[in-house]
Structure 1
Amino acid sequence: MYHPQLPSFAVTSLRLAALNVSDSDAVTSRIEFTVTARNPNDKIAFAYGDIAAAFAADGADVGDGTVPGFLHPAGNTTVIKGAASASSATVDPVVASSLRSKKSHAMSVEMDSKVGFQIGRFNSKSINVRVLCAGFTAALAKNTPSPPPIVVAAAPSPSRSRSVIKSSTSSAGATTTTDAKCKLRVKIWIWTF
């Protein structure tokens, strides 16, 4: 009756503001990112809890962050802006050497949240979801002034709406525009006694 469809996610921009690897193989980083979430349903809304984002560069964990939860209305495109960081996180010496030697890094992000859906007045229980995004690269941003940021998102149709969720503001430096697609994995645990 409702023809339910899964939401879709894409990393639309990423700024590697800092990535330092000390002689003791400790990583300090700051990552600023934009994720675009689209709800293709006409009558189903999604309610997300806080989203935990874990970033990796060349397979090494380089930053964690949290984006506030939000309501994703039917037919809505939401642009999520957030930041992740690491402070003296120790990595394997081989991985640390690799991070030091590269100018550009293969990036990926795992985002975990709980989500429930709403149809009219009905609200479901929340279930665990994981969004996996990969296939994009980023180089360390230079600290030079940049023009105002451009939001990279598909223009919604006239009957659709768009909202922006922010957890931090961006500072000066280059932003890498990506079109990295993401895979959504739904985890439903069924207990039988």
Structure 2
Amino acid sequence: MNFLRKTAAVLLFAIALGHADDFMGLPIEDGASKDERPLPSFIFGGGASLLYYLKSIDGSVSLDAEYRVHKNVSLGLYGTVPFVADFLEFGLDCHWYFKGSLMRSGHDDYLKFAVSAFYLDYDETYFSPVISFGYGRDMLFFKKADLFGRFEFYGSVVAGHPVEKENEKMNIVGPYMEPVRFFLHARFSILFF
């Protein structure tokens, strides 16, 4: 009987130690580091997007690099090359994360503000300034992977020389070049950290 009491006491003591986070001020296991990975500070990657302008859709590829200055703010560089249109875009963007936690809940919602330039090469070379504003979401697909997906939906306004696109509709004199100043973008990217 005495043997059974000692065995039960040792088992209860072992179970209590197994469920305790610390014992006499000594950490037994760090629960926070096991449950949550740190937020990535530098990310890079690329993706594809659809651009809607002048009642037509064009595709593009893009490269992104971003640095998280604060848990709610990041600054980045990006570049875009459309498939059909005659311009290149490169610029700076800022993301303000307002909802979610990428490593804890698996997603981050943000507002995007970007300043960029279109490189246009018509009869002359133009660097037209562009302002963009929109919404995006970062989605962590796998808990232990070092990559995540990003979906963005935003609009861009060309402040300088407009992008020119040939209008397929014929008027009296024939086809003509139509200026484009507003673009809608839907972009999906894969980013690594």
Q: Same fold (TM over 0.5)?
A: no
- With normalisation by structure 2, the TM-score equals 0.36
Q: Which has the higher contact order (CA 8 A, sep 6+)?
A: 1
Structure having the higher helix fraction is 2
- With normalisation by structure 1, the TM-score equals 0.36
**Structure ID, larger Rg:** 2
